[in-house]
């Protein structure tokens, strides 16, 4: 039995399809390190790993693959993630970008999906905007620990943001108030509390939404998803905010205003109209293999 044969339900050609994908992960801390590990296990073949930070003592409670020796050595988080990926799949194509994501735009431009595993509200907003501008699916995850009477509440969310569907602003994940508060507390707020098991739940859900988008195992009838996590009740459920916004156009990033001006999507749309079973030519647009399926979903 081959390495990936137990996940054949993802599709007859899922091994080849996943091996051909390229994903970008912005932030390789508690959330992103989980995502990198899981994507390597399911057989994704290409990675752009983006983080300018190094592991320290405070990361050992959540950073997958990080060791005490890494703390002593001050190892870059992207190098730890690359080591984990290559230990699982030595043939993986890994691009390491030990800089902020704004300095990796050329590396991100050609990927099939972007995972946002960043704490900053502004970074979430900007990374989603950039992804939509290039018509790239964006998967965001985040969590926080809130002090409540008698204890603490672990809460988080995972959002699959697709061009034309509700964005992070539509769903209240990004707000002007949160951006203003973050700007006022810049440099003084400290890190948000993070622990390994909620990060694992959120990352697993994010990877599941990604696989749902890239393979035919479970075709969603919706453009985008938002799931909310209650770490005290150990539940993950669809967000009521998404239900209210699902059939309304995004008020912040109109579909007509999106798209890379250097990418001629008309060729793919014409082909999609001609046949619902058409597959986009790998040679024509290798960086937009998902577009035909997205167009068909929008047309249903």
What Cα–Cα distance (Å) separates residue 233 from each residue in 128, 198, 238? 29, 12, 15
pLDDT tens for each residue of 27-38: 999 999 999 999
Judgement on whether residues 55 and 80 belong to the same structural domain of the protein: yes
d(C-alpha 209, C-alpha 290), whole Å: 14
The whole-number pLDDT of residue 227 equals: 96
What is the band of 182 on the pLDDT scale with cuts at 50, 70, 90? confident
Mean pLDDT, the chain, whole residue set: 83
Judgement on whether residues 230 and 282 belong to the same structural domain of the protein: no
In a domain, 16, yes or no: no
The whole-number pLDDT of residue 189 equals: 39
The whole-number pLDDT of residue 256 equals: 61
Domain range enclosing 289: 264-300
In a domain, 129, yes or no: yes
Closest Cα to residue 100, out of 83, 78, 79, 73? 78
Average pLDDT score over residue span 99-107: 91
Q: What is the CATH number of the domain that holds 69?
A: 3.40.50.720
The whole-number pLDDT of residue 154 equals: 93
Residue 244 has pLDDT above 60, yes or no: yes
In a domain, 12, yes or no: no
Judgement on whether residues 178 and 74 belong to the same structural domain of the protein: yes
What is the band of 8 on the pLDDT scale with cuts at 50, 70, 90? confident
Judgement on whether residues 244 and 282 belong to the same structural domain of the protein: no
Judgement on whether residues 47 and 155 belong to the same structural domain of the protein: yes
What are φ and ψ of residue 190, in 5° steps? 75, 175
Domains held by the chain: number: 2
Residue 209 has pLDDT above 80, yes or no: yes
Q: Is-contact 129 174, C-beta < 8 A?
A: no
Judgement on whether residues 128 and 252 belong to the same structural domain of the protein: yes
What is the band of 267 on the pLDDT scale with cuts at 50, 70, 90? very low
Judgement on whether residues 182 and 154 belong to the same structural domain of the protein: yes
Residue 82 has pLDDT above 80, yes or no: yes
């Amino acid at each position: 039995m081959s390495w990936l044969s137990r996940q054949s339900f993802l599709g007859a050609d899922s091994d080849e399809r996943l091996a051909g994908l390229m994903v970008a992960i912005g932030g390789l801390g508690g959330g992103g390190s989980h995502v990198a590990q899981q994507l390597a296990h399911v057989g994704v073949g290409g990675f752009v790993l983006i983080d300018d930070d190094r592991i320290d003592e405070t990361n050992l409670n959540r950073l997958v693959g990080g060791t005490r020796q890494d703390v002593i050595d001050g190892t870059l988080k992207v190098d730890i993630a690359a080591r984990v990926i290559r230990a699982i799949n030595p043939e993986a194509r890994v691009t390491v970008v030990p800089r902020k994501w704004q300095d990796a735009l050329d590396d991100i431009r050609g990927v099939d999906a972007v995972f946002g595993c960043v704490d900053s509200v502004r970074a979430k907003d900007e990374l989603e905007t950039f992804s939509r501008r290039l018509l790239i699916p964006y998967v965001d995850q985040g969590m926080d620990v809130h002090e409540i009477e008698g204890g603490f509440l672990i809460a988080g969310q995972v959002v699959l943001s697709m061009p034309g569907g509700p964005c992070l602003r539509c769903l209240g994940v990004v707000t002007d108030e949160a951006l203003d508060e973050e700007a006022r507390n810049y440099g003084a707020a400290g890190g948000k509390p993070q622990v390994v098991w909620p990060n694992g739940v959120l990352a697993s859900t994010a990877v599941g939404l990604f696989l749902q988008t890239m393979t035919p195992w479970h075709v969603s009838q919706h453009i985008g998803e938002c799931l909310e996590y209650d770490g005290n009740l150990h539940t993950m459920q669809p967000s009521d905010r998404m239900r209210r916004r699902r059939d309304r156009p995004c008020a912040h990033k109109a579909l007509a205003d999106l798209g890379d001006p250097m990418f001629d999507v008309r060729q793919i749309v014409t082909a999609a109209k001609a046949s619902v079973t058409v597959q986009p030519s790998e040679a024509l647009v290798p960086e937009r293999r998902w577009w035909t399926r997205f167009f068909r979903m929008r047309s249903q």
